[in-house]
Structure 1
Amino acid sequence: MYLMSKVERADDDLLNFALTYIVWMVYTMVVMLTSVIFVHYVGPQAIGSGIPEMKTILRGVQLKECLSFRTLLAKMVGLALAIGSGFPIGKEGPFVHVGSIVANLISRFVRNFKSAYANESRSCEMLAAGCAAGVACTFSAPIGGVLFSIEVTAVYFAVRDYWRGFFAAACGSAIFSLLRLYTHSSEVTVVAFYQTTFKSRAFYPEELFIFALMGLFCGITGAIFIWIHRQMVLFLRRNSFMKIIFQRNWIVYPIVICAFYATLTHPIGFGRYITGEVVFSRTLKDFFMNCTWSADPSRFEACSGSVAVRWSADESIFAELTVFVIGFYFLSIVASTLPV
Structure 2
Amino acid sequence: MDVFVDNFTEAHRWIYDLADSHVLLQYLAWVAYSMFLMCFAAGFANIVSIQAAGSGIPEMKTCLRGVMLQEYLTFKTLVSKVISLICVLGSELPVGKEGPFVHIGSMCAALLCKFMSLFSGIYKVLENFIIARNKEMMTVGCAVGIGCCFASPIGGALFSLEVTSMFFVARNYWRGFLSATFGAFIFRLLPVWNRQEDTLMALYATKYRLDFPFDLQELPVFAVMGIVCGFGGAFFVYLYGKITLFVKKQKATNSFLMKNCFLYSALVSVLISTLTFPLGFGQFMAGQLTQRESLISFFDHRTWSNHGIVADFDNDDHLAAWKHPQANVFVILSIFVIMKVNKHTDTQFSLLFIFSYDDSQIKGNAYVCVLGAAFGRLVGEGLATLFPDGFNMDGHVYHITPGVYAVVGAAALTAGVTHTISTGVIMMELTGQINYALPILISVILSNMISQSLQPSIYDKVIRIKKLPYLPMLSWGHRDKYNIHVGDFMKREVRYITLNSTYRDIFKILGSGNLKTLPLVKSTESMLLLGSVERAQLLALLKQRSQHLRKENAPTMPISYKVHFQIEEWEEQQLDEQVNFNNCKIDPAPFQLVERTSLHKTHTMFSVLNLDYAYVTSIGRLVGVVSLKELCKAIEGSLPADGVRLRPILATFRDRGVRGSWTETTELRKLLDHQIKKQTEKMKSSSIITTILGEMCTFY
CA distance in 2, matches of 1:73, 1:139: 22
Distance 2:312 2:181 in 1: 35
- The aligned counterpart of 1:153 is 164
Matched, 1:272 2:266: no
Q: Please give the per-residue CA displacement for 1:53-87, whole angstroms capped at 9, x wherever unaligned.
A: 10000001110111011111111111111011011
| AA matched with 2:344 | S
Query: 1:112 is paired with a residue of what secondary structure?
Result: helix
Q: Is the 8 A contact 1:225 1:333 kept in 2?
A: no
Moved more, 313-322 or 53-62: 313-322
Flag the structure with larger Rg.
Answer: 2
Q: Is this contact kept in 2: 1:35–1:82, CA < 8 A? A: yes
Residue 206 of structure 2: SS of its match in structure 1? Answer: coil
* Deviation by residue 1:129-161 (Cα, 9 ceiling, x = unmatched): 000000001111111111111122332111111
Among candidates 35, 46, 66, match of residue 41 of structure 2: 35
Tell me, yes or no, if structure 1 residue 210 matches structure 2 residue 216.
Answer: no
Deviations 1:286-321 (A, max 9, x none): 11222111148xxxxx67344554113231111101
In the alignment, does 2:62 pair up with 1:56? Answer: yes
Shift in CA distance, 202/113, structure 1 to aligned 2, threshold 3 Å: same
**Distance in 2 of aligned mates of 1:86 and 1:3:** 14
- Partner of 1:289 in structure 2? 300
Matches within 5 A, 1:135-154: 135-154=146-165
Deviations 1:220-269 (CA, angstroms, capped at 9, x unpaired):
11111111111111122221232222322222321221111011111111
In the TM superposition, residue 6 of structure 1 has moved relative to its aligned partner by: 7.0
| Separation of aligned partners in 2, 1:143 and 1:124 | 20
Which among 80, 85, 91 is matched to residue 79 of structure 1?
Answer: 85
Match of 1:17 among 23, 36, 54: 23
Q: Work out the CA distance in 1 between the residues paired with 2:264 and 2:278.
A: 24
In the other structure, the counterpart of 1:299 is: none
The separation in 2 between residues aligned to 1:308 and 1:158, in whole angstroms, is 45
User: What is the correspondence of 1:133-212 to structure 2 with a 5 Å cutoff?
Assistant: 133-183=144-194, 185-199=195-209, 200-212=211-223
What's 2:331 paired with? 319
C-alpha offsets along residues 151-186 of structure 1, whole Å, 9 cap, x if unaligned? 223321111110111111111111111123234x44
The one-letter code of the counterpart of 1:335 is T
**Which residue in 2 is equivalent to 1:226?**
237
- Name the residue aligned to 2:506: none
**Residues 194, 262 of structure 1: CA spacing in aligned structure 2 closer, same or farther, 3 A cutoff?**
same
Paired residue for 2:582?
none
Counterpart contact for 2:272–2:346, Cα < 8 Å:
no
Matched residue, 2:321: 310
Map of 1:7 onto structure 2: 19
Is contact 2:143-2:156 (8 Å) kept? yes
Amino acid at match of 1:177: R
Structure 1 pair 25/153, CA: closer, same or farther in 2 (3 Å)?
Answer: closer
| Alpha-carbon separation, structure 2, partners of 1:106 and 1:233 | 35
* 1:156 match: secondary structure: coil
Question: Which residue is 1:251 aligned to?
Answer: 262
Closer, same or farther: CA 210–178 of 1 in aligned 2, 3 Å: same
Alignment partner of 1:89 is 2:63:
no
Q: Distance in 2 between matches of 1:167 and 1:232?
A: 40
Distance 1:303 1:55, change over 3 A: farther
Taking the aligned partners of 1:3 and 1:287, their CA distance within structure 2 comes to 27
The 3 A distance-change label for structure 1 pair 303 and 75 is: farther
Partner in structure 1 of residue 132 of structure 2: 121
TM-score, length-scaled by structure 2: 0.45
SS at match of 2:216: coil
**Residue from 105, 110, 113 that aligns with 1:99:** 105
* Counterpart position of 2:50: 44
CA distance in 2, matches of 1:256, 1:124: 41
* Secondary structure in structure 1 of the residue aligned to 2:119: coil
Structure 2: runs of 5 or more not aligned: 1-10, 356-700
Letter in 2 for 1:98: I
Distance 1:222 1:334 in 2: 18
Greater shift in the superposed pair: 198-207 or 134-143:
198-207
Which amino acid letter does the alignment assign opposite residue 56 of structure 1?
Answer: T
Distance 1:332 1:179 in 2: 33
By how many angstroms is 1:329 displaced?
Answer: 2.5
Aligned counterparts of 1:20 and 1:153: Cα–Cα separation in 2: 44
> Is residue 260 of structure 1 aligned with residue 260 of structure 2?
no
**Cα 1:213–1:37 shift into 2, 3 Å:** same
Separation of aligned partners in 1, 2:345 and 2:204: 25
Contact map agreement 1:245 1:253 (CA 8 A) in 2 = no
* Aligned equivalents of 1:5, 1:218: Cα separation in 2: 38
Q: Distance in 2 between matches of 1:137 and 1:5?
A: 33
CA separation of 1:224 and 1:112: change in aligned 2, threshold 3 A: same
Q: Which runs of 5+ in 1 are unaligned?
A: 11-15, 297-301
4+ residue stretches of structure 1 with deviation over 3 A? 1-6, 115-118, 305-309
CA distance in 2, matches of 1:325, 1:331: 10
- Provide TM-score, normalisation by structure 1: 0.91
Instruction: Flag the structure with more relative contact order, 1 or 2, with Cα contacts below 8 A and sequence separation at least 6.
Output: 1
Question: Quick check: which one's helix share is greater?
Answer: 1
Report the Cα offset of residue 3 of structure 1. Answer: 7.9
For residues 58 and 90 of structure 1, the distance between their equivalents in structure 2, rounded to whole angstroms, comes to 23
CA distance in 1, matches of 2:99, 2:16: 35
Counterpart residue type for residue 171 of structure 2: R
**Percent of aligned pairs sharing the same letter:** 38
CA RMSD of aligned residues (A): 2.2
> Measured at CA, do residues 5 and 153 of structure 1 come closer, stay the same or move farther in structure 2, by a change above 3 Å?
closer
Contact preservation (8 Å) 2:206, 2:299: yes
Aligned residue for 1:195, secondary structure, equals coil
Structure 2 counterpart of 1:240: 251
Equivalent residue for 1:332?
344
The answer to whether the 8 Å contact 1:291/1:303 transfers is no
Identify the match of residue 109 of structure 1 among 92, 105, 115.
Answer: 115
How many residues are matched?
Answer: 329
Change (3 A) 1:4 1:267: closer
